[in-house]
Chains A and B, each alone.
Chain A
């Protein structure tokens, strides 16, 4: 009987190990990234967000709502100080509108590397709309634990000459939910530029989505931006004409 129990225990343990392996080690790095992309990318969305910009002991809070479809997005600020200020992304280009002066500004070139509304999130970061799998080559370099959650550690390298914001990324992917819990972003030179840490993940419409994350620009001292998603809806119907300068100036 003891031998039977021992054999059964071993078989159960082996079975468990095999299930874990099927969910984890048997996935290729491309499959892991594909699952991350499935969570992050959507046909269209409507969201309401808050951005808390911290620098030293000072804090600035911006509130906004946005509509997004493919590579197009319209962001409107709703906090008092910036009320009515809007951004429009059309493919790889970005415009701003200031209703107080009825002033339309195209953000281009060097301005794209500036922080969005003074934050650690740059305009270039906002323009990123491609799937990771379409831009980078990936290598699974290990596994680590973050806040008690097992993660895959993946390095992503952009091909030489690729037009990307960050030449290299290091991503810690939650093994169960396939969401990035931490990310490091590097320049071509190998210099660490930014880090992002996810502090809250929720399941929405069948996908796991980062609802709160902290972005830090390593080049700035004592600076961090916390982005909180208050509400998000996927695959929403967006009226025709939303992504246009006419709509931006309304």
Chain B
């Protein structure tokens, strides 16, 4: 089981129990995902079956919103141990002029669409983190965030301002921990298509620039997304990736998607195809495939050599 911070978990759980006295009870929902994966590592094709059970509990009162999420991952044959994870345990308190969220929670910043291949530079809290996030509104559309959360075993403090002006959604932030100092800007605007950008300037431990530019456009049932990420200056591990995504809606319940992640340095590519359909209100089926391509020493060429072509079929049941 992943590390659970004892005292914050107790605090959140205690407040949840107290809040139940004024509410009708918690809402429990979640999903069960069954995934078959067919791959050919080292040139040998094999099929694996894995399962993920996700349970969410959410409760509202006049003063709080409480969220908990647990996952049970039952891996395929290669791994013997099932994993249990508490992925979320947070309490959002509604103050008169501010809101405070405590516990293990997502703090999602940045304007990128969070494709795994092209990370948004300003998403400085990348996964559900243990911490606190204070939000102070400055009007119907703007607010300050003050956050402190654990990232890489250090506490990362951040101050962020977000607002809207003439259709432009913008934010500025500053963040620091014992080793790093970051300032950043982001913006998103509709100019007939949606154009957005994240810029993160790392001042410490070394100067480094991270830039993401993206565009999102729809024409009829087609939606196209392009993102490019560039890391410059003294970045030790530079990322120059371009992601192109295209999705097509067959009907209200079925969509097709194709993606290309291009490494601009070595020109290697990862192609992905997918289809998703809602079979019933509770049942979703997804099928996907990924194909790495590239030279012998390239990022995706190495995957290709290792035979890491992957086909997946996933069924999700909501409850």
CB distance from B256 to the nearest CB of A (A): 15
- Total interface residues on A, using CB and 8 Å? 37
> Which chain A residues in 108-124 approach chain B with CB under 8 Å?
108-111, 113-115, 118-120
Set of chain B residues within 8 Å of A119, measured between Cβ atoms: 252
B50 at the binding interface (Cβ < 8 Å): no
Set of chain B residues within 8 Å of A250, measured between Cβ atoms: 60, 65, 92, 94, 99
- The answer on a CB contact under 8 Å between A220 and B169 is no
Among A55, A113, A245, A246, the residue within 8 A (CB) of B253 is A55
B236 at the binding interface (Cβ < 8 Å): no
- The answer on a CB contact under 8 Å between A53 and B252 is yes
CB distance from A174 to the nearest CB of B (A): 30
Please give me the residue from chain B that is nearest to A244 by CB atom: B140
Set of chain A residues within 8 Å of B169, measured between Cβ atoms: 106
- The answer on a CB contact under 8 Å between B279 and A83 is no
> Which chain A residues in 65-107 approach chain B with CB under 8 Å?
80-81, 83-84, 90, 99-103, 106
Among A103, A106, A223, A244, the residue within 8 A (CB) of B252 is A223
Evaluate whether A109 and B192 lie within 8 angstroms (CB atoms) in the complex, with A55-B253, A58-B278 already known. Answer: yes
Among A60, A100, A110, A249, the residue within 8 A (CB) of B99 is A249
Evaluate whether A111 and B106 lie within 8 angstroms (CB atoms) in the complex, with A58-B279, A61-B281, A99-B67 already known. Answer: no
A59 at the binding interface (Cβ < 8 Å): yes
Set of chain A residues within 8 Å of B291, measured between Cβ atoms: none
Among B60, B65, B188, B218, the residue within 8 A (CB) of A110 is B218
B78 at the binding interface (Cβ < 8 Å): no
Among B107, B167, B252, the residue within 8 A (CB) of A118 is B252
Evaluate whether A100 and B190 lie within 8 angstroms (CB atoms) in the complex, with A81-B282, A90-B141, A115-B252 already known. Answer: no
A56 at the binding interface (Cβ < 8 Å): yes
B143 at the binding interface (Cβ < 8 Å): yes
Set of chain B residues within 8 Å of A244, measured between Cβ atoms: 137, 139-141
Per the bound structure, the CA–CA distance linking A120 and B193 in Å amounts to 22
B194 at the binding interface (Cβ < 8 Å): yes
Interface string of A16-56 (1 = CB under 8 A from B): 00000000000000000000000000000000000001011
CB distance from A222 to the nearest CB of B (A): 8
Per the bound structure, the CA–CA distance linking A81 and B58 in Å amounts to 12
- The answer on a CB contact under 8 Å between A106 and B188 is yes
Majority SS of interface residues in chain B? strand
A243 at the binding interface (Cβ < 8 Å): yes
Set of chain A residues within 8 Å of B60, measured between Cβ atoms: 250
CB distance from A127 to the nearest CB of B (A): 14
Per the bound structure, the CA–CA distance linking A56 and B278 in Å amounts to 12
- Total interface residues on B, using CB and 8 Å? 43
Per the bound structure, the CA–CA distance linking A53 and B99 in Å amounts to 35
Per the bound structure, the CA–CA distance linking A245 and B140 in Å amounts to 6
- The answer on a CB contact under 8 Å between A110 and B193 is yes
Evaluate whether A80 and B253 lie within 8 angstroms (CB atoms) in the complex, with A101-B106, A109-B190, A249-B135 already known. Answer: no
Evaluate whether A245 and B108 lie within 8 angstroms (CB atoms) in the complex, with A59-B281, A115-B252 already known. Answer: no
Q: Which of B94, B137, B281 has the most CB of A within 10 A?
A: B281
Among B107, B140, B219, the residue within 8 A (CB) of A102 is B107
Per the bound structure, the CA–CA distance linking A60 and B254 in Å amounts to 12
Set of chain A residues within 8 Å of B188, measured between Cβ atoms: 106
B45 at the binding interface (Cβ < 8 Å): no
Evaluate whether A83 and B27 lie within 8 angstroms (CB atoms) in the complex, with A60-B278, A61-B281, A246-B99 already known. Answer: yes
CB distance from A82 to the nearest CB of B (A): 10
B318 at the binding interface (Cβ < 8 Å): yes
CB distance from B308 to the nearest CB of A (A): 28
Chain B residues close to A by CB (< 8 Å): 27, 29, 56, 58, 60, 65, 67, 69, 92, 94, 99, 105-108, 135, 137, 139-143, 164, 167, 169, 188, 190, 192-194, 217-219, 251-253, 278-282, 318-319
Q: With contacts A101-B106, A246-B137 known, what are 12 further pairs, Cβ within 8 A? A: A56-B251, A58-B279, A60-B252, A81-B29, A81-B282, A99-B58, A102-B105, A109-B192, A221-B251, A243-B140, A244-B141, A246-B135
Can you list 27 A-B pairs, Cβ within 8 angstroms, ordered by A? Answer: A53-B252, A58-B279, A59-B281, A60-B253, A60-B281, A80-B27, A80-B29, A81-B29, A90-B140, A99-B65, A100-B106, A102-B108, A103-B108, A106-B169, A109-B190, A109-B193, A109-B194, A111-B194, A115-B252, A118-B253, A220-B251, A220-B252, A245-B142, A246-B99, A246-B137, A250-B92, A250-B99
The 3 closest A-B pairs by CB, nearest first: A110-B218, A109-B190, A108-B190
Chain A residues close to B by CB (< 8 Å): 53, 55-56, 58-61, 80-81, 83-84, 90, 99-103, 106, 108-111, 113-115, 118-120, 220-221, 223, 243-246, 249-250
